[in-house]
Amino acid sequence: MRAIAVSAFRAEPGLVELPKPDPGAGEVRVKVEYAALNPLDWQTLDRGTLDQQTADGTPPGASPHVFPFVLGTDFAGRVDMIGSGDNRFRVGDAVFGRVTAPPPGRCGAYAEYLCVPQDSPIALVPRDMPLHAAAALPSAGTTAAQILSSTAVRSGLSLLVVGATGGVGSFLTQLAAARGTAVVAAVRGDEGRRMKALGAIATIDTTHGPDASASAVRALYPEGVDALVDLVSTDTRSFAAYAALLRDGGVAVTTRSVAAPPGVAWSDYRLAPTAALLDELASAVARGELEVPIDMELPLEKAPQALTQNRAGGARGKTVFAV
Ligand SMILES: NC(=O)c1ccc[n+]([C@@H]2O[C@H](COP(=O)([O-])OP(=O)(O)OC[C@H]3O[C@@H](n4cnc5c(N)ncnc54)[C@H](OP(=O)(O)O)[C@@H]3O)[C@@H](O)[C@H]2O)c1
């Protein structure tokens, strides 16, 4: 089968031919039709992550990685084989979800076939939902929904989203707006029209940094915003500059594992996907209540270039690969 993989840590991803994986007990094998790009796909290969790892690149305490290491977590496709034992799926089922079962690298979404335990965060694709939309949902949709629950933002409250134009931000803006939350989208460039269509009440341009854009937020919310979700800042200074726009008692969330300054109530979000939440998100899409923001659809072979491009920035929703 064709797959996009790396031959070693720090190696460049490329197209390779690999044997089809065989499903083990309790697994399903999926013929992948679409995979979706997440920054995690290149972040796991990044030097910054690897510096903290042992000599062969394996994180301390983690199970050994399999090489070639097949990239990608988010997929949609059809079950084509069932492993031994009971299984909640049948051959032919259209499914979508995340593949992360150990050992890392054995199966990834950027491949024609993958095997995944049937009790993984995978779910049936609703009949009216196209597979490319299903593939784009798992990581970014789950992150947006779980962050929203954790910040308890509700009708009448305000939420500043930094990096609102990307995959997570585009889902988060819609889900928060649907609850009646006033979303201020902090983005680089002229994205007001797109963010308004997703439900933001205002869009501010952060091209010149957090301090330069602070006055625009203060003009809207002199007392400060109720909540901040920062999908972008990787240094405390930048996160602190956005956190300074919170009202007294406001809450901040980072997805980039950066600490907020003392005195700010904040949390470091960690993805915890579940099949039940995937069902909920897919139902919302099927009912027309949630739009899956597809930025680009590319053939699988273009994944290495797309990863390079995503690392440089500029995402406007999700990139999916037709496998
Ligand atoms: N901890 C977790 O469990 C978890 C879960 C999900 C995601 N994440 C992380 O959260 C981050 C966002 O994920 P994603 O899927 O939304 O990524 P994405 O689709 O690549 O979107 C990132 C967005 O941020 C924008 N951006 C970059 N710098 C900016 C700045 N200074 N001001 C405003 N916008 C800026 C980018 O557009 P421009 O470059 O054009 O500005 C892009 O639209 C990623 O780093 C991802 O790894 C972590």
90-115 residue pLDDT tens: 999 999 999 999 998 999 999 999 99
Q: Which amino acid residue places its CA nearest to atom 38 of ligand 1? A: 314
pLDDT reported for residue 197: 98
Tally: H helices and E strands in the chain: 10, 16
pLDDT reported for residue 47: 45
Q: Which of 175, 183, 41 is nearest to 104 (CA)?
A: 41
- Over range 127-146, report the average pLDDT: 97
- Over range 247-269, report the average pLDDT: 94
For residue range 30-62, what is the model confidence (pLDDT) as tens digits?
999 999 999 999 998 774 354 445 555 566 666
**Per CATH, domain 2-137+292-322 is 3.40.50.2000:** no
Which of the four pLDDT bands, split at 50, 70 and 90, describes residue 317?
Answer: very high
Please report the atom of ligand 1 found closest to the CA of residue 314: 40
Residue 210 beta carbon below 6 angstroms from any ligand 1 atom: no
Q: Which of 309, 306, 290, 277 is nearest to 139 (CA)?
A: 277
Q: What DSSP letter does each residue of 20-55 carry, written as one string?
A: PPPP-TTEEEEEEEEEE--HHHHHTTSHHHHTTS-T
Distance 62 CA to ligand 1 centre (A): 26
- State yes or no: pLDDT of 242 exceeds 60: yes
Please report the atom of ligand 1 found closest to the CA of residue 170: 16
What's the one-letter identity of residue 217? V
For residue range 154-173, what is the model confidence (pLDDT) as tens digits?
888 999 999 999 999 999 99
Please report the atom of ligand 1 found closest to the CA of residue 268: 1
Question: DSSP state, 111?
Answer: B
Question: Which of helix, strand or coil describes residue 270?
Answer: coil
Q: What are phi and psi of 53, to 5 degrees?
A: -105, 170
For residue range 186-213, what is the model confidence (pLDDT) as tens digits?
999 999 999 999 999 999 999 999 998 9
What's the one-letter identity of residue 200? A
Calculate the average pLDDT of the chain: 93
Residue 169 beta carbon below 6 angstroms from any ligand 1 atom: yes
Q: Which amino acid residue places its CA nearest to atom 22 of ligand 1? A: 166
Residue 166 beta carbon below 6 angstroms from any ligand 1 atom: yes
Q: Where are the domains of the chain?
A: 2-137+292-322, 139-268
Where would I find the H helices in the chain? 39-43, 47-50, 131-135, 138-151, 167-178, 192-198, 210-220, 236-243, 275-286, 303-312
Which of the four pLDDT bands, split at 50, 70 and 90, describes residue 224?
Answer: very high
Please report the atom of ligand 1 found closest to the CA of residue 169: 16
Q: Which amino acid residue places its CA nearest to atom 24 of ligand 1? A: 163
Q: Which CATH number does 139-268 carry?
A: 3.40.50.720
